Amino acid sequence: MNHRVVWLETGQSFDVAAGEAVLEAALRGQIALPHECQFGGCGTCRVRVVEGTVGYEDELPMGLTEEEAEAGYALACQARPSTDLVISVERTAACSAPTRLRATVEEVCAMGPDVTRLRLRLPDDAGLVYLPGQYMNVQLEGGRHRSFSMASKPGGNSVDFHVRRIPGGVFTDRQLASLCGGSALEVELPLGNFRLHAEDYRPLVMVATGTGLAPIKSMLESLMGDDDCPPVSLYWGMRTEADLYLHDEIQGWAEHLYEFQYVPVLSRASDSWTGRRGYVQDAVLADLPDLSEHAIYLCGSPHMIADAKQAFLARGASMDHLYADSFVFQTA
């Protein structure tokens, strides 16, 4: 039996066949619901079910907590309608529509043991407006792509990215090493709903693992020198001291952000490490017994985000002020 889905904000509607996921049907009908990984890991396709009910083939996908499901949220890439639906999708603040263009490599340099800084220059006439926290896709052969968050604040035609090498990765372990100044890349941007919500007017708790720091950096750079900047706590989880590829620079951010606190947390620290140890989400819980007044941003490992969401909601975090972007790595 088919079910009808109506997208509340746009008025668009489409039919979902029996056993079909909401996103699959939307894409078949050329309805541009936000999405990325399409297997329930990243959470980009999260929607609120305003009317109707959905189910899943097995258990809840990793990118959705039980608390979120009970509050009416669903992941469109995995959710199967049980009835007709009305869904709501957060509208991204004013930015350019996703655009494919040819970018020029300005710089490729090592930042850490397995992290490379990639700086691209967009065409002078591109005129793209993106938001702190959004990402781009690098187009690969065969219609594939790889996603990387912008690490620099919006403005100008030069954009930075932090690219983690994935062993065997088509782009990060093969193509990236061959790039140099002047090389061309086919890219699409801006993409994604992960962004800074300045309208929240709440103290910020930023939690990142690995290169999940990149979109957080873009957000925080956009707040530097802003008289309305709220208090900021940044928790960055890595394995070893050598992995903290931006450690020294981050410590200087305190000069430009209001009540800035930086807490690096290492899961495999050496005996000489005098800082915090363990998992980054546990460090947040140890420091902040009540999260009800904060806006929280999570970026990086899907496992960290799934665990942090559940734990932070239990500490009073507002589901409407908890934003997440899971980094799902691919090799093929």
Provide the pLDDT for residue 249. 97
Residues 178 and 220 in one domain: no
Using the structure block, give the residue that is written with the tokens 């939307």: 26
User: What is the CA 36 to chain-centroid distance, rounded?
Assistant: 10
* Residue 270 placed within a domain: yes
Given 157, 191, 225, which residue is the final one in a domain? 191
Residues 210 and 321 in one domain: yes
Residues 83 and 147 in one domain: no
The tally of domains found in the chain comes to 3
* Residue 332 placed within a domain: no
* Residue 41 placed within a domain: yes
Identity of the residue numbered 74: A
- How does DSSP assign 185-212, residue by residue? EEEEEEE-S----GGG-S-EEEEEEGGG
* Residue 272 placed within a domain: yes
* Residue 331 placed within a domain: no
pLDDT tens for the chain, 332 residues: list them: 899 999 998 889 999 999 899 999 999 999 988 887 888 888 888 999 999 999 998 889 888 989 899 989 999 999 999 999 999 987 666 788 889 999 999 999 999 999 999 999 999 888 889 999 999 999 998 888 999 999 999 988 999 999 999 988 889 988 998 999 999 999 999 998 899 999 999 999 999 999 999 999 999 999 999 999 999 999 999 999 999 999 999 999 999 999 999 999 999 999 999 999 999 999 999 999 999 999 999 999 999 999 999 999 999 999 999 999 988 765 55
Provide the pLDDT for residue 92. 65
Residues 187 and 202 in one domain: no
For 192, left (φ over 0), alpha (ψ -120 to 50), or beta?
left
Using the structure block, give the residue that is written with the tokens 């802003």: 226
Residues 120 and 210 in one domain: no
CB 179 within 8 A of CB 140: no
CATH number at residue 267: 3.40.50.80
* Residue 277 placed within a domain: yes
Residue closest to 208 by CA, chosen among 242, 171, 172, 245? 245
Given 146, 172, 191, which residue is the final one in a domain? 191
Residues 103 and 144 in one domain: yes
* Residue 311 placed within a domain: yes
Residue closest to 207 by CA, chosen among 318, 306, 90, 92? 306
CATH number at residue 165: 2.40.30.10
List strands edge to edge, sheet with 145-149. 145-149, 135-139, 184-191, 99-110, 115-121, 158-164
Across-strand partners of 3?
Answer: 16
* Residue 93 placed within a domain: no
Given 172, 191, 210, which residue is the final one in a domain? 191
Residues 204 and 241 in one domain: yes
Residues 227 and 206 in one domain: yes
Provide the pLDDT for residue 41. 80
Residue 129 sits in which domain range? 99-191
d(CA 70, CA 98): 32
d(CA 277, CA 264): 9
CB 302 within 8 A of CB 275: no
CATH number at residue 41: 3.10.20.30
Kindly report whether the peptide bond that precedes residue 289 is cis, defined as omega within 30 degrees of 0.
Answer: no
Provide the pLDDT for residue 63. 85
Residues 123 and 7 in one domain: no
